[in-house]
Chain A
């Protein structure tokens, strides 16, 4: 079964850090670009970051550039998002998604990140 499972979310104080993980199964992880997308509860989806097959070609949304780092371990079939200097407006559900050529064709259930003092 094709599956993406996120973990690592939780409650963190402003200025703190979290690392999200996304475990992929049921497909050849190393063949796909991967992305992180987030959603503030009640709001729309917002693209966060992308990484190419070999870990190159990394791009970030302006709102997270310099604070977040996307990475992957193809041997472990796992995608990561290191989030530093977290702000209140980073509070959201974070989704790991697979890039099926200009379409995000597989999504995880998401992990909730709450930034609050």
Chain B
């Protein structure tokens, strides 16, 4: 069982928005503003899409946005495109003894 809870799947039609939740505890998501989101295509390296809750690395489209409320973080993909079909994982800093915890991933399908 993963430390962070994500829905196993989410879907939307092209142009629509999809939001993925990521629920942790006050020891991880709720305790630090260091939530990150990763996109992974099969057989490829995970790619950082969001860091520090809502910041986008250079090159990531602004269709991707992140937020947090309490112990739950969210990733929203607006204006869905076919290329957004992938697995998305959330992660959070969780302190010096067990630095990072992750979710089990959400498979996003573009209908």
CB pair A35 B99 closer than 8 Å = yes
Q: How far is the CB of B106 from chain A (nearest CB, A)?
A: 11
Assuming the contacts A4-B45, A102-B32, A109-B43, asked whether A47 and B51 have C-beta atoms less than 8 A apart, the reply is: no
Q: How far is the CB of A102 from chain B (nearest CB, A)?
A: 4
Assuming the contacts A59-B96, A110-B45, asked whether A102 and B34 have C-beta atoms less than 8 A apart, the reply is: yes
Interface of A is mostly: strand
CB pair A47 B93 closer than 8 Å = no
- Bound CA span A109–B43, Å: 7
- B69 on interface, CB distance cutoff 8 Å: no
Total A-B pairs, Cβ < 8 A: 67
Which one, A12-20, A37-45, A75-83, is touching chain B?
A37-45
Chain A, residues 38-82, CB within 8 Å of chain B (1/0): the string is 000001111100100000000101000000000000000000000
Residues of B within 8 A of A109 (CB): 43-45
Residues of A within 8 A of B101 (CB): 47
- A117 on interface, CB distance cutoff 8 Å: no
- B57 on interface, CB distance cutoff 8 Å: yes
Task: Please list the residues of chain B having a beta carbon within 8 angstroms of any beta carbon in chain A.
Answer: 2-4, 32, 34, 36, 38, 43-48, 51-52, 57, 89, 91, 93, 96-105
